[in-house]
Amino acid sequence: MKSRISGLLVLVIAAQTFGTRGFPESLNIGLAEPITGVQSWVRKNRSSNWSFKFFFNPLISVVEFGLNCVESFFTWLPWFIPAIVVFVVIARTRRWGLASFTAFAVIYPGIVGVWSESIITISLMAVSVLICVVIGVPLGVLTAMNKRSDTILRPILDGMQTVPATVYLIPIVLVFGIGPAPAAIATVIYALPPMVRLTSLGVQQVPKSTVEAAQMFGATRRQVLAKVQLPLAVPSIITGINQTVMMALGIVVIATLVGAGGLGQEINQSVRRLEAGRGLIVGLAVVAVALVLDRVSMSLVSTPGVQRIRIKRNTLYIGLICLAIVAVIGRVFGWIEFPFSWGTSFADPIDTGFKWFRTTFDVVTRPFNDFVVREILVRAQTLFNETITWQAIVVVAGAFSYYVAGWKLSLMTAGGITFIGLTGRWPDSVDTLTQTVVAVIISILIALPLGIWLGRRPRAESIISPVLDAMQTIPSLVYAIPFVMIFSVGPVPGIVAAVVYAIPPGIRLTSLGIRQVNYESLEAATTFGATQRQVLWGVRVPLAMPSIILAINQMVMMVLAMAIISGMVGGGGLGYRSIEALTKPDSGLGVEVGIAIVIMATILDRLLQATAKRFQAPVAI
């Protein structure tokens, strides 16, 4: 062991002595140049090449037709029909309060004056989710029935969930252009993985005894799938649709960069105008859309203990006819547009409050902003770019990965860091990594104590849970607006917004780990005279450590997901470069940025997963 440490120290000293400070530009492999050449070729041949004539352009036309049909249908309906339908669907579960609240959520966008924008967003969501279902269910069935297909598709789905959303948009803009249809295609790519995974899980979890019984009665493989496995997998498929909707709504703001419009565009305008109140109000409209789609989809799943109102077929037909008649009457009398709007004027006090806060506490916020930028970010950039050689960084990172998980992860870490430098994204990656580390440390200091406290108090957790739900549903860009008003444009608003965005999953997973510590261990410690504090730090926290490490892992991923938002508010780094690549557009730069972010996220994810395994409590046999 001592010889290994001595050898490592010699290697680090040699790398620091003879290495190069900052990754040299001469080693740039020029990855962007051939991709930019492809971009130029696409622009010249968009109207003449057979692939565009017979595949890409018809595909865009089909998606545009679907968007226009859905949007026209919702525009044709009187404003009160969707609220009635949502109330009836959820009221079948006898949850009258939930049904009423969800119906109110339907009309909330109209109350605040963004009814037409919400229709655009819902149309985009409906078409995108429908395409996800059409593609995801067959792929999920295929991966469940065929192990080879699962082996091939699993890393592809992992990559689709890891690559930042803006990286999808760059090739999509290159191939399909700008507009709602390309935004829908980007949304499908981003939101498809949970549909595939949960469909596959649902089919795999069908009891083997049920499948064998069907086969004994002479059912073919196709009949077993269609009449046994898929019907029993419906709850899992509906959950997949629910998760797909949530992920699709998570990209509505980013999709406006390619012309999606809707609520995301309103939020982007709020950022430009620094209107925190309006951004919050419109963000709550996105939350309302998410709430409606979530509750409606979940009400379709059979939940144990929930009694449903059984509706006869004739009653259903009569109800549909009455609904159609009411819709026609609404059309005849012109009850189409939302009848009134309070607008976002009541958001003005929020803007006034943030301005007052900035003016009053400037003596605190300005020194904090300057301290983070000057003493942490600038020093870290100097350390990694001018003080430590890149060879020493690779050696130390590889050695740490070897200690945590072995030589495979060590090689992946060293190779990944080196490749980031070869793409020319070393300085930007240093900026993003520094901001990520700062945001994660702050998130840990907030989320872990709160999670430990809530894990021992179920009643308090039930009260805070809706707040955490809302924090995870509000578009991430909304968080950045108030902090830009408080700290001004720069990296600090992005860091603070990333902290607010990342702490909900950290709190939840930490609380879950504390709560799931087995009762026998707690009782044994109490029997031997341990105090409550000793039980907490000697039993609960150590046994919950794998869940706590996974909480940190999720916070890292959430902070990295906020890198793009940080770039939009002056944070620099890879996030700013991704926005630059999209707005130019520059596909070569976009690919380099995407590769750097994916490598960084993958290395951090694997390191934290390996650390969680090391802390895993031994399993009793």
Last residue of a domain, one of 350, 369, 393: 350
CA distances from 577 to 251, 424, 584 (A): 18, 12, 11
Mean pLDDT of 153-181: 74
Q: What is the pLDDT of residue 619?
A: 44
302-324, pLDDT tens digit by residue? 544 445 556 666 666 677 788 78
Mean pLDDT of 159-174: 70
Last residue of a domain, one of 293, 319, 350: 350
Q: List the single range of 164-168, 222-226, 583-587 with lowest mean pLDDT.
A: 164-168
User: Distance (Å, rounded) from C-alpha 119 to C-alpha 466?
Assistant: 25
DSSP code for 620? P
The first and second tokens of residue 400, run together, are 């740490």
Which of 20-34, 444-458, 597-611 has the largest mean confidence?
444-458
535 found inside a domain: yes
With b for 16 or more beta-carbon neighbours within 10 A and e for fewer, the 326-360 pattern comes to ebeebeeeebeebeeeeebeebeebbeebeeebee
Residue 513: give the domain boundaries. Answer: 2-30+361-614
CA 582 vs. chain centroid, Å, equals 20
386-437, pLDDT tens digit by residue? 888 888 888 888 888 888 878 888 899 999 999 998 988 888 888 888 888 8
The pTM (predicted TM-score) of the whole model is 0.73
Total count of domains within the chain = 2
276 found inside a domain: yes
Q: Are residues 282 and 394 in the same domain?
A: no
Last residue of a domain, one of 301, 319, 350: 350
Cis amide leading into 58 (omega within 30): no
356 found inside a domain: no
457 found inside a domain: yes
Q: What is the pLDDT of residue 15?
A: 80
